[in-house]
Structure 1
């Protein structure tokens, strides 16, 4: 291990194609704006933020052997990430995510993570063959895991000895994939990072506040639950104790990646020794910088 702490980032590594407009949008809107293509995916968004906090992300994902994949991994390596363990598919394209954002937030998004899903458990081979760990000597450091993996693979990870001693941090990737995290409730593994809607889907009931949601997730079996609710208070539930933090109010200029930034900043804070209230405050501040368009932390 080098001078920085290694952290595994397992999940989607892809290109984000984002259309943003300063106009309020609705279904069928056709407005001027900007379209960008940038490295993205939940695992990669988390990794990019972790770099800014002095951690060294080690990517476990699937990327095609196409031109887009070569360019993407070159960008990741240039940023300081370890990409040698990424599974490369010869017959599948590099994944993509497309979103449209207006002044009133995210309008619509489509995540094409078919290559990651097709790769399945092959992305975890470095944890078995000795490159990063092996079955009789599992990886014991921090791990950021995203819900873009298949339900079957997530269920396997939730009880796998490969990550039994790891500090496992898990995010659902989107409300549509929240229920994929149910095995982590059933096996009381890891720290779950969800928003209010995702918490409700996991518990099959609506919640009015993040505090209620954190209590609900703990009751359902979560080892630890961290729940955000946009500009409303966020909550961190552990061992029956729930603490809250109030986000700073800012002008929202972008929303894609805000949850990933929050999660990465929280992991980095706790890795550096911050207590729960301090880590929550630092994560909320990082998210506020992100949504306001100011990435200086």
Structure 2
């Protein structure tokens, strides 16, 4: 079996996205396109990693239903390692549904109940020697998403199974940002958040990404990256301060998955040896290319 370059832990599901070139409001009924693609935070990160040539291993829950079989097959075709996915007999495959208009994301619902219900079953390969154990924990990169329950994230924060890992952590959405609190001060964690999520984690309203990065470091974070749409974004490291950069101005054609693309591109840049500023610039370029629609989903 091929050893993964990175583990992606979290949601792997079907993204059902309705997009319209028209600006929308509550009650809008407009023409557009509806797509169904593999998605979820962990999956979006894994897809970007594959585009950059890395081999991700997926730790998630997928049902033993027809949708689940189709999803696992799609992941395998893309070159991801699916051997360690927990396949539930009684839980359905998760789904995410979003509506996007010319004026941005209108609404979204994430149905990740099966992932939440599975709990630490998805982590078994890290404990039973397939990928590691408490005595010899996984020592590589891990991309961890906030669709896991707060209890499981707290367990991960204290677990010896993650003691040697390079943890890269992202909330699934602003509504789930508080779940990351147990990992905020983890000495091996890098947090990737947007301005709203940073404000929620610190219970303070920030007005810029550099301000938010400094605020998170003050709250105990060791390393953070804060995005702010098309405005200035920032990276903060304990003891090294905050740096910032601006994304390229592009015509935005899609939003869902942009943050995950940013995170994956930053991981790849650092894995290739890029220093702080070039790694941030590389991630911003990749995210701009993604939202402009110049690369496939």
Q: Same fold (TM over 0.5)?
A: yes
| Residue in 1 that maps onto 2:72 | 73
Q: What is the CA–CA distance in structure 2 between the aligned matches of 1:94 and 1:216, rounded to whole Å?
A: 38
CA contact (8 A) 2:142 2:166 kept: yes
CA contact (8 A) 1:73 1:83 kept: yes
Instruction: Work out the number of aligned pairs and report it.
Output: 295
Using a 3 Å threshold, how does the CA distance of structure 1 residues 169 and 114 change in structure 2: closer, same or farther?
same
Q: CA RMSD in A?
A: 1.2
- Name structure 1 gaps, 5 residues minimum: none
| Residue in 2 that maps onto 1:226 | 225
Q: What is the CA–CA distance in structure 2 between the aligned matches of 1:179 and 1:150, rounded to whole Å?
A: 10
Q: What is the CA–CA distance in structure 2 between the aligned matches of 1:269 and 1:96, rounded to whole Å?
A: 30
Give, in angstroms, the shift of residue 187 of structure 1: 3.8
1:158 counterpart SS class: helix
| Residue in 1 that maps onto 2:204 | 205
Q: What is the CA–CA distance in structure 2 between the aligned matches of 1:271 and 1:76, rounded to whole Å?
A: 23
After superposing on structure 2, the runs of 4+ consecutive aligned residues of structure 1 that deviate more than 4 Å are none
Q: TM-score, normalised by structure 2?
A: 0.97
| Residue in 2 that maps onto 1:259 | 259
Deviates more, 1:59-68 or 1:185-194: 185-194
Q: What is the CA–CA distance in structure 2 between the aligned matches of 1:161 and 1:188, rounded to whole Å?
A: 13
Q: What is the CA–CA distance in structure 1 between the aligned matches of 2:219 and 2:91, rounded to whole Å?
A: 38
Q: What is the CA–CA distance in structure 2 between the aligned matches of 1:5 and 1:245, rounded to whole Å?
A: 31
Q: What is the CA–CA distance in structure 2 between the aligned matches of 1:295 and 1:31, rounded to whole Å?
A: 25
Q: TM-score, normalised by structure 1?
A: 0.97
Q: What is the CA–CA distance in structure 2 between the aligned matches of 1:50 and 1:165, rounded to whole Å?
A: 21
CA contact (8 A) 1:263 1:283 kept: yes
Give, in angstroms, the shift of residue 189 of structure 1: 4.2
| Residue in 2 that maps onto 1:31 | 30
Give, in angstroms, the shift of residue 188 of structure 1: 4.1
Give, in angstroms, the shift of residue 185 of structure 1: 1.8
Q: What is the CA–CA distance in structure 2 between the aligned matches of 1:167 and 1:53, rounded to whole Å?
A: 19
- Name structure 2 gaps, 5 residues minimum: none
2:93 counterpart SS class: coil
| Residue in 1 that maps onto 2:287 | 287
| Residue in 2 that maps onto 1:15 | 14
Counterparts of 1:152-191 in structure 2, within 5 Å, are 152-191=151-190
1:122 counterpart SS class: helix
1:253 counterpart SS class: coil
